[in-house]
Amino acid sequence: MISEQMPENRTVVGRFAPSPTGPLHLGSLVAAVGSYVMAKRAGGLWLLRMEDLDTPRVVPGMADDMFRTLESLGFAWDGDVMWQSRRAEAYGSALERLLSARNAYPCGCSRAEIARAASAPHDGEGEVPYPNICRNGLPAGKEPRSYRVKVGAEPIVVHDLIMGEKRYDLARICGDFVVKRADGLFAYQLAVVVDDADQGVTQVVRGADLLSSTPRQILLQRLLGYETPAYAHLPLVTAPGGGKLSKRDNAVSLAAGRDLAADGGRLILAALRFLGQRPPASIAGAAGREILAWGAAHFDLSLVPTASAPLSA
């Protein structure tokens, strides 16, 4: 099995990486708070990255709203913001390295062809494992559409600081996966790995919905010679009945009409409590930056729950 753990002596560099495809929401808030207080508790840096890679889905003006929302909530990030949309050269260089080492290859298959040809069982999330049609070269008459990275037979073990040890058989779950899409855009899995390496990120704290992406990213880190960060996947925020939150109830941004001058501290406090922390009643009326400072000084990872739940704010 492939197993990755971060050396304990590395300086902590955390990050928050929202996508400007809609306003910040309660799940984003929890991820921002969790990543911030974990990095600052360790005396580390907290970076901000704008994951605007999927340009067709980017909402104009939303990135600026995210900046203003985070500032209004009391966050302050270290260094300059990284923009994925400006990093095609870095991703292209990483892809060339994968191709040169024969760890990636061009693929001429459409989704419909893959669905028809696949014989392996699905992983329960609707994903069809790639049936290796182009793995040993493009069949006659096919032109490159996308690029895939080769997945080995050896399972990958993720040591998550919150969710515990998870074992993934990528060959069964997804097979060789796309690192450059048919529309010419680089895939999230490759971009995030290159970004984390270039920013020196040592700690990735994000929602549990991205836990299944982690083994793919660990594989890419190994193939590209990057160190693997520590991972901590936070519980997800659900609606009161356990379902998905509506966009109306979920948004916490200025663009959604939130009065963060009045509500910011209360929202940060609610996020900390959602993460199992026990802030004292004496800070209940404090500003967001003061409550974040308390979190940075007192955050206890052992108190973070693993189960998804509603957030009362």
Interatomic CA distance for residues 77 and 199, integer angstroms: 13
Instruction: Decide: 159 and 165 in contact? Cβ < 8 Å.
Output: yes
CA geometry: angle 248, 210, 164, nearest 5 deg: 125
Predicted pLDDT of residue 11? 86
Looking at the fold, whether 183 and 262 belong to one and the same domain comes out as no
Domain-located, residue 304:
yes
Looking at the fold, whether 82 and 210 belong to one and the same domain comes out as yes
Predicted pLDDT of residue 114? 87
The CATH number assigned to the domain holding 217 equals 3.40.50.620
Instruction: Decide: 233 and 163 in contact? Cβ < 8 Å.
Output: yes
Closest by alpha carbon to 170, among 129, 210, 206?
A: 129
pTM passes above 0.75: yes
Residue 134 sits in which domain range?
98-188
Q: Which residues are catalytic?
A: 247
Interatomic CA distance for residues 36 and 16, integer angstroms: 8
Closest by alpha carbon to 36, among 76, 81, 93, 1?
A: 76
Domain-located, residue 3:
no
Predicted pLDDT of residue 111? 87
Looking at the fold, whether 103 and 193 belong to one and the same domain comes out as no
Instruction: Decide: 113 and 139 in contact? Cβ < 8 Å.
Output: no
Looking at the fold, whether 304 and 241 belong to one and the same domain comes out as yes
Predicted pLDDT of residue 6? 42
Looking at the fold, whether 77 and 200 belong to one and the same domain comes out as yes
Domain-located, residue 5:
no
pLDDT in tens, 46-72: 999 999 999 999 999 999 999 999 999
Sign (positive/negative) of CA torsion 215, 216, 218, 222?
positive
Instruction: Give the long-range contacts of residues 288-291, CB within 8 A, separation 24 or more.
Output: 288/72, 288/73, 288/74, 288/75, 288/260, 288/264, 289/74, 289/75, 289/76, 290/74, 290/265, 291/74, 291/265
Predicted pLDDT of residue 146? 97
Structure token pair of residue 210: 């991205």
Domain-located, residue 4:
no
Looking at the fold, whether 218 and 289 belong to one and the same domain comes out as yes
Predicted pLDDT of residue 124? 45
Q: How many domains does the chain have?
A: 2
- Among residues 188, 207, 237, the one where a domain terminates is 188
Instruction: Give the long-range contacts of residues 87-90, CB within 8 A, separation 24 or more.
Output: 87/191, 87/194, 87/195, 88/186, 90/194, 90/198
Domain-located, residue 93:
no
Predicted pLDDT of residue 144? 95
The DSSP secondary structure of 117-158, one letter per residue, reads: H--SPP-SSSPPPP--SSTTSPPTT----EEEE---SS-EEE
Looking at the fold, whether 136 and 157 belong to one and the same domain comes out as yes
Looking at the fold, whether 199 and 271 belong to one and the same domain comes out as yes
Predicted pLDDT of residue 192? 98
The CATH number assigned to the domain holding 115 equals 3.90.800.10
Looking at the fold, whether 182 and 215 belong to one and the same domain comes out as no
Structure token pair of residue 38: 């974990």
Predicted pLDDT of residue 240? 81
Looking at the fold, whether 153 and 78 belong to one and the same domain comes out as no
- Among residues 138, 164, 188, the one where a domain terminates is 188
Predicted pLDDT of residue 243? 75
- Among residues 138, 159, 188, the one where a domain terminates is 188
Q: Which residues of 62-76 are buried (b: 16+ CB within 10 A; e: fewer)?
A: bbebbbebbbbbbbe
Q: Report, as ranges of residue numbers, the positions in the chain whose pLDDT lies below 70.
A: 1-10, 118-126, 246-249, 313
Looking at the fold, whether 59 and 203 belong to one and the same domain comes out as yes
Predicted pLDDT of residue 8? 54
